[in-house]
Amino acid sequence: MKKTFLEYKEPLLTVMVQADNPDRIKNLMDKSTPLGGEAYGIQFEKMKKEFRSGNIYKDLFSYTDKPTYVTNYRSHENEGKSDETLANELIEFSKCGATLCDMMGDFFDKQKGEFTTNEDAIKKQMELVNKLHESGSEVLMSSHVLEFTPAEKVLEIALGHQSRGADISKIVVGANSMQEQIENIRIMNLLKENLKIPFLFLSGGECHILRRIGCEFGSCMYLCVYEHDRFSTPQQPLLINAKAIRENMK
């Protein structure tokens, strides 16, 4: 059965297994599977350079029978790399068996909020999407705005992701008041009504309940963790809690 993030009966419990070495990633997979992990997210920007090789990628992607989501952001171990290098690494992940590749919405034209409108950059992004599809991966396009964003701008970003060929749109905004949090829930309905592709709409800041209940309003997956450590994202809920939320929302 083909691994995919696009066909599911209910939003996937995607466990982010962040670490600087492959053994720890496997360990987190081993611990998460019995608790109900349905997919795994590997953030390669956090992996030490000595472990960045095709053989290790293949080993990680084949270690689990669950779909794998990969990121290769500009931070941590990737600092100083060109976007062209990061893009080529995404293609390598794809060829080695990654199910879903995360490409930033400002690839080839770095912008605050990770969304470019530069025509040359957009052309390169569409070419990268095609290459990733050709090598067997699905594509998620992400924009980490990280601040409260008006509905019209969020929709512009999401439709931009869609028009460039992404299979999933991921947008991370912010909310520091209940008013902003409620507006973000309304924005989710706007995305649901206007997008033809699945989306993942998340919020940081003081009010980040969307990371827990967002799937009830249209997000396609939960991003969660087995446990919180120095590599994990603090705002992401524990797998056992995300699973309980999903079960109790039925």
Residues in the chain, overall count: 250
pLDDT tens digits, the chain, 250 residues: what are they?
789 999 999 999 999 999 999 999 999 999 999 999 999 999 999 999 999 999 999 999 999 999 999 999 999 999 999 999 999 999 999 999 999 999 999 999 999 999 999 999 999 999 999 999 999 999 999 999 999 999 999 999 999 999 999 999 999 999 999 999 999 999 999 999 999 999 999 999 888 889 999 999 999 999 999 999 999 999 999 999 999 999 998 7
Domain for residue 4, yes or no?
Answer: no
User: What span, in angstroms and rounded, lies between the C-alpha atoms of 204 and 57?
Assistant: 30
Domain for residue 7, yes or no?
Answer: no
Contact 3, 12 (CB under 8 A): no
Give me 234's structure tokens: 């603090």
Give whole-number Cα distances, 132 to 60, 90, 100, 164, in Å. Answer: 18, 8, 9, 13
CATH code where residue 153 lies = 3.20.20.70
Domain for residue 228, yes or no?
Answer: yes
Q: Tally the domains of the chain.
A: 1
Domain for residue 2, yes or no?
Answer: no
Which DSSP helix (H) or strand (E) runs through 203?
A: strand 199-204
Q: Where are the alpha helices (DSSP H) in the chain?
A: 22-32, 54-63, 83-96, 119-134, 151-163, 178-194, 210-213, 239-248
Q: How many helices (H) and strands (E) does the chain have?
A: 8, 8
Beta pairing class for 39-43 and 168-174 = unpaired
User: What span, in angstroms and rounded, lies between the C-alpha atoms of 250 and 246?
Assistant: 7
Contact 11, 220 (CB under 8 A): yes
Domain for residue 104, yes or no?
Answer: yes
Domain containing 203 equals 12-248
